[in-house]
Copies of this chain bind each other. A is one copy, B any other.
Amino acid sequence: MAENTAPPAELPERTKEISAEDGEKGPSKSALKKAAKDKEKAEKAAKRQAAEDAQKQASEANDISKEAYGDLPMLGSQPYLPPKEKVPRVRLDEIAEEYKDTSSMTEKGGPEIVFRGVVENARAQGAKLTFITFRQDADTIQAVVAESETLSRQMVKFAGKIPNESVVLVHALVKKPLEPVKSTTVQHLELHVKKLFVVAKADQQLPMQVADAERPIPGEGEEEKPTEEEGGRPIVTLNTRLNNRVIDLRGKHNHAIFTIKDGVINLFQEFLRARGFIGVNSPCLLGAPSEGGASVFEVKYFNTKAFLAQSPQLYKQMLIAARFEKVMEVGPIFRSENSNTARHLTEFTGLDMEMAFEEDYHEVVSLLEELILSICEGLRTRYKKETDLVRSIYHVEEFKLPEAGKVPRLPFSEGIAMLREDGVEIGDFDDLSTPDEKRLGALVLKKYGTDFYVLDQYPLNIRPFYTMPSAETQAKYDPNNPNAGLSNSYDFFMRGQEIMSGAQRIHDATFLEKRMKECVTPVDPQSDGLRDYVNAFRYGCPPHAGGGIGLERIVMLWLGLPNVRLASLFPRDPGRLVP
């Protein structure tokens, strides 16, 4: 039936037509009654529509601002504004800096700026005034949309209804506020809006607020609870935040975290490139598990299987054998460990390096010490703003760093002795537990005045098969106890937490095969995943050593984050593969 779809004005004719089409049989009484009712309804609707149209027309006719606000079309292939109005967009941080001195600003004047920003929130104050807080990156600024001779009440109303988080294009005058604005990052300026266009409208209801993202998550073991200062706002758990990571990431401190994360990569590459390292990309897809099969992910690979690399270790070494003297790699690392802790991810970013040395693997240890100091120094100077921002939420003490060349390099045995002296019961060749490591960190800080130190010459039995036994251990070799003694391996610690692990590797194929068979968890040198690796050392390979850093862990530690997931854009753990 056409009743409800025909436009109201044409309804009478249309009703007639239907009757005619129905042919000989006349309309029933009830049909006639219905038609009359419909007619009445339609007439009412038409009146209502006409009234609305008239009001709108009148409103538009007397809307002096009608060209100055509204929703922009979505297209991106033609200018939003007439070409003559195409003006460069500014950055709020630059404006804040440029107009640091507001003494010369008059009540009336002020430069006009155009920028794209986000509505953090819009508050209508009656019909004549709307306040908006605009955000652009980490900067927020207060703006007023006030009715005036040149700005209509309709525009004020429009401004007050823009949903939070919408992207807008703003033309505004820069003014000195009557008194400094307390709620924004730019406090010495405010904006008087002249034009206001919505580029991309956000939904009215978002699954969480950006402000929620900017509150700290509790530390491990602590309970999640609304803080007093926040006025008891409901808790948004880490899980909810990660489920809505796109909104969560909008938090200012999150931008700072990932700027710093990129900064660590940048500093790592810069330091090593300046020393002749080249960046390499080793494969993630392997034909067989290479470093013990327990924590490796299996991939369907056409008609066979592949495995995801648990580290670029074997490939870094093969590249040394291929005469690349100094290699570094930034790439994903995959660990199929079913650990649901604040410190484990199944996918993270590895910063790896490996280099040939001349006489002594301590040449490499020295370079790595310099590298870590250089990264910290770079973070401290180039990423101070971001570091301070994050540390304003997650409070952490500044690292106490030694001078270059003065990093304490303690033999493992000395670490054990210090712990024993402090009352810890531990054997000469036992691995350190996490609490032991933290305790030793505190002891080292007390004795040497630094949060950063190196523990050298770990017991052979707790290191991987490719680790070079120390000279003394090789000289005292006992076939009945082949894993006794120490190795040329080291861990780097920051405030009692391991940040890097490394070693001299075995560069002789025959000796490597022997160690593979004799080590605590023997592996088969002739297995598919290891054959090519072992063979690489039959072709003449120089002595070499290296190390690997877990990027997310460094970021977490630098910023005092309570959970490593906060240092991953889209974290992956045994229970999370989305978003």
Residues of A within 8 A of B (CB): 73-81, 86, 89, 116, 118, 137, 163, 165-167, 199-203, 206, 245-247, 249-250, 254-255, 258-259, 261-262, 265-266, 269, 273, 278-288, 297-302, 304, 306, 308, 315, 318-319, 321-325, 330-332, 334, 336, 338, 346-347, 349, 356-362, 468, 470-471, 474, 488, 504, 507-508, 511, 528, 532-533, 535-543, 545, 568-570, 572, 574, 577-579
Contact check, B301 vs A543: say whether CB atoms are below 8 A apart. no
Q: Please determine whether B542 and A285 come into contact, CB atoms closer than 8 angstroms.
A: no
Taking a contact as CB atoms under 8 Å apart, the answer to whether B542 and A199 are in contact is yes
**Do A533 and B569 touch across chains, with their CB atoms under 8 A apart?**
no
Q: Pick the contact of A508 from B200, B255, B299 — CB < 8 Å?
A: B200
- A sample of 14 more A-B contacts (CB under 8 A), given A89-B358, A536-B579, is A73-B471, A77-B504, A78-B471, A167-B541, A200-B508, A202-B538, A245-B322, A247-B322, A249-B322, A258-B324, A266-B273, A286-B578, A288-B578, A315-B569
Q: Do A507 and B361 have beta carbons less than 8 Å apart?
A: no
CB distance from A370 to the nearest CB of B (A): 18
Min CB gap A282→B, angstroms:
7
- Listed by A's residue number, 21 A-B pairs whose Cβ atoms lie within 8 Å are A74-B507, A76-B504, A76-B543, A77-B361, A77-B488, A78-B471, A118-B540, A200-B543, A202-B540, A246-B536, A247-B539, A249-B324, A250-B322, A262-B279, A280-B569, A281-B332, A285-B577, A286-B577, A301-B346, A315-B570, A331-B331
A258 CA to B329 CA, complexed, in Å: 13
Give the residues in chain B near A284, CB-CB below 8 Å: 284, 332, 334, 347
Nearest residue (CB) in B for A304 is B577
Closest 5 CB pairs of A and B: A287-B577, A202-B540, A532-B579, A249-B322, A75-B471
Q: With the chains together, A324 CA to B251 CA distance in Å?
A: 11
Q: Are A76 and B319 in contact (CB under 8 A)?
A: no
- Is the beta-carbon distance between A540 and B167 smaller than 8 angstroms? yes
Question: How many Å from the CB of A359 to the closest CB on chain B?
Answer: 5
